[in-house]
């Protein structure tokens, strides 16, 4: 394979790596958003426990049971969504690793070929 074809192949592998990298970004952003929601839920739970400690009506009316049920369902839903997004992230990371490996392999072959061509040119010049 000549250097021109390898350079074209290198550009293609670079483009594929960039495409895979861009595909990973929304998944990472979705994961961060869900984690923020879980942190916010934790803060709400902490605040509610502090506020409800002094409010007897909260327990008498059964509001605490409703709140705990909502919190549990919300946490379960967020954790399921987080697991789904992390599974997508793992798949996208595997594709990115593969694209990166190809990119590095082609770059290495191109460098080796360029070095060999340069040595051949230098040898030809020194023989003249």
- Helix (H) or strand (E) segment spanning residue 62: none
Q: In this structure, are residues 92 and 20 in contact, taking their beta carbons and an 8 Å threshold?
A: yes
Q: Nearest-CA neighbor of 87 among 30, 44, 36, 48? A: 30
Give the model's confidence band at 99: pLDDT under 50 very low, under 70 low, under 90 confident, else very high: very high
Give the model's confidence band at 30: pLDDT under 50 very low, under 70 low, under 90 confident, else very high: very high
- Residue 91 in this model has a pLDDT that exceeds 90: yes
Q: What is the mean pLDDT of residues 107-126?
A: 89
Residue 79 to residue 43: CA distance in whole angstroms: 16
Q: What is the mean pLDDT of residues 12-19?
A: 94
**Would you state the pLDDT for residue 65?**
83
Q: In this structure, are residues 41 and 73 in contact, taking their beta carbons and an 8 Å threshold?
A: no
Q: What angle do CA 85, 81, 70 make, to 5 degrees?
A: 160
Residue 99 to residue 34: CA distance in whole angstroms: 27
Give the model's confidence band at 67: pLDDT under 50 very low, under 70 low, under 90 confident, else very high: confident
Joined together, the tokens standing for residue 63 give 């509001």
**Would you state the pLDDT for residue 87?**
97
Q: Nearest-CA neighbor of 31 among 94, 78, 76? A: 78
Query: Tens of pLDDT along 36-63?
Result: 999 999 999 998 888 776 666 666 677 7
Residue 99 to residue 13: CA distance in whole angstroms: 7
């Amino acid at each position: 394979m000549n250097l021109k074809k390898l350079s074209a192949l290198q550009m293609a592998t670079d483009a594929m790596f960039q495409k895979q990298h861009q595909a990973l970004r929304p998944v990472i952003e979705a994961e961060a958003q869900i984690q923020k929601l879980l942190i916010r839920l934790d803060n709400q739970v902490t605040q509610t426990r502090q506020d409800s400690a002094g409010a007897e009506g909260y327990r008498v009316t059964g509001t605490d049971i409703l709140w705990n049920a909502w919190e549990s369902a919300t946490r379960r839903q967020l954790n399921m969504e987080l697991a789904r997004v992390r599974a997508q992230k793992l798949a996208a990371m595997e594709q990115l690793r593969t694209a990166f490996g190809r990119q590095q392999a082609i770059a290495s072959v191109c460098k080796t070929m360029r070095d060999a061509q340069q040595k051949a040119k230098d040898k030809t010049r020194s023989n003249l």
